[in-house]
Amino acid sequence: MKCVDDFRLRFGKQEVVPIIIGGMGVDISTADLALEVSRLGGIGHISDAMLPTVSDRRYKTKFVSEKQKQYKLNIQIADKSIVQFDLEQVAESTRLHVSKTMEAKRGDGMIFVNCMEKLTMNSPRETLRVRLNGALDAGIDGITLSAGLHLGSFELMKDNPRFRDAKLGIIVSSLRALILFLRKTARLDRLPDFIVVEGPLAGGHLGFGMDWAEYDLHTIVAEVVAHLKAENLDIPVIAAGGIFTGTDAVNFLEAGCAAVQVATRFTVAKECGIPEKIQQEYYKSTEDQMEVNTTSPTGYPMRMISTSPSIGAGIRPNCEAYGYLLDANGRCAYIDAYNAEVALHPDVKKISVKEKTCLCTHMRNYDCWTCGHYTYRLKDTTHRNEDGTYQVLSAEHIFKDYQFSVDNKIALPNIDPAKKI
């Protein structure tokens, strides 16, 4: 009976354990988590979501307060078109986060950065250009293009000295999306180094409509693998979404995938950025609390725990400080939803906005509890303490359970001596 450790993901002469930890923002897939996975021989992700905000928290910069001060007179104005990011600060926050992570890297694994196209930042093309090239310049091993078709992203990097050196990949949820990407980038004579096929059970934003339950990861993976074979394209395919055990992973590896990308089980790792109090909410969650809704201003359906404080919250938009989802015209679906509720209830001090959520503020404050479909199974991967809480795991324990487990088994951790069971 095979385990994940019987396989390897190969990039040329380099081999890594075929376990990739998916990028989770905002700073949920932390540098600490990525570094630990790299030390263990796999591939860890950091996220470039809201990096000026992350930089302020981790490196004591003042990018957010400076931006808020600059645009404070615009707070009561619905039109946010003048609220622009300083591109030099975007570049500096990227350089800081990536370079400091890479300087601390140990082991034979790799560290990638997850880059969302839907992080439009009131200037989609230019901010994306700065983020992508900033990560390359700071020495990142690879970039995973996510949350969007990224039809122009390779073009934005083509003049970078590391364009053909770094590992560049794309997340797709259909063969059609992959074909569009390959056609668009063909003239650059630069194929992606890997393709992540993300299914409907993944966490956070989904590449499906609200009919997501009609799709199946195994089917999409088989279509992609068959297409690449027919086109004589030797590009590693990585399955993602709903892979909860080592046996789940082996099933995809034996079906032609080069690796798997996982994330849900690492949301309760000590190295993860989610505060432990909220990790306990993940442990306590039940299957009927796994909700896919359309509250994200990005337009993508999003999976989260139904008890997330962000759902129905009516906080005032804070685009002057954040504004990461403002489109090229300075618009955000949450601003429209918020203003509509205020107009309907002018005398109500605390309104509720159910249609959309202020994703920037809630993700920054860990109040939007995005999750994979099998989050409700996390309680089965650990011990319950005498006080009713659950033992938080190390990333190493989770990684090695994926790497070596067989027969759908999940290894429980050693009991924490500081906790009573």
Q: How far apart are CA 171 and CA 207, in angstroms?
A: 9
pLDDT for position 160: 98
User: Does the pLDDT value for residue 120 go beyond 70?
Assistant: yes
Mean pLDDT, residues 93-120 taken together: 97
Query: What would the two tokens of residue 98 be?
Result: 């990536």
CATH architecture of 4-404: Alpha-Beta Barrel (3.20)
Q: How far apart are CA 112 and CA 23, in angstroms?
A: 8
pLDDT for position 420: 61
Q: The whole model's pTM is what?
A: 0.97
How many angstroms separate the most distant Cα atoms in the chain? 66
Q: How far apart are CA 278 and CA 47, in angstroms?
A: 20
User: Does the pLDDT value for residue 155 go beyond 90?
Assistant: yes
pLDDT digits (tens, 9 = 90+) for 122-151: 999 999 999 999 999 999 999 999 999 999
Q: Could you state, in order of their start, the residue ranges of all structural domains in the chain?
A: 4-404
Other beta carbons within 10 Å of 79: 11
pLDDT for position 330: 95
Q: Is 133 left (phi over 0), alpha (psi -120 to 50) or beta?
A: alpha
pLDDT digits (tens, 9 = 90+) for 207-245: 999 999 999 999 999 999 999 999 999 999 999 999 999
**CB of 55 within 8 A of CB of 97?**
yes
For the chain, give the mean pLDDT: 97
Mean pLDDT, residues 11-32 taken together: 97
**CB of 30 within 8 A of CB of 273?**
yes
CA dihedral 147, 151, 156, 159 (to 10 degrees): 130
User: Does the pLDDT value for residue 22 go beyond 80?
Assistant: yes
Which range is least confidently modeled, 166-180, 234-248, 252-266, 405-419?
A: 405-419
Mean pLDDT, residues 333-340 taken together: 97
pLDDT digits (tens, 9 = 90+) for 378-420: 999 999 999 999 999 999 999 999 999 999 999 999 988 776 6
pLDDT digits (tens, 9 = 90+) for 312-322: 999 999 999 99
Residues 300, 305, 307, 309: is their CA dihedral positive or negative?
A: negative
* β-bridge mates for residue 417, sequence order: none
Q: How far apart are CA 310 and CA 404, in angstroms?
A: 37
pLDDT for position 421: 60
pLDDT for position 309: 98
Mean pLDDT, residues 291-315 taken together: 97
Mean pLDDT, residues 189-207 taken together: 97
pLDDT for position 14: 95
User: Does the pLDDT value for residue 282 go beyond 70?
Assistant: yes
Residues 349, 355, 360, 364: is their CA dihedral positive or negative?
A: positive
pLDDT digits (tens, 9 = 90+) for 25-78: 999 999 999 999 999 999 999 999 999 999 999 999 999 999 999 999 999 898
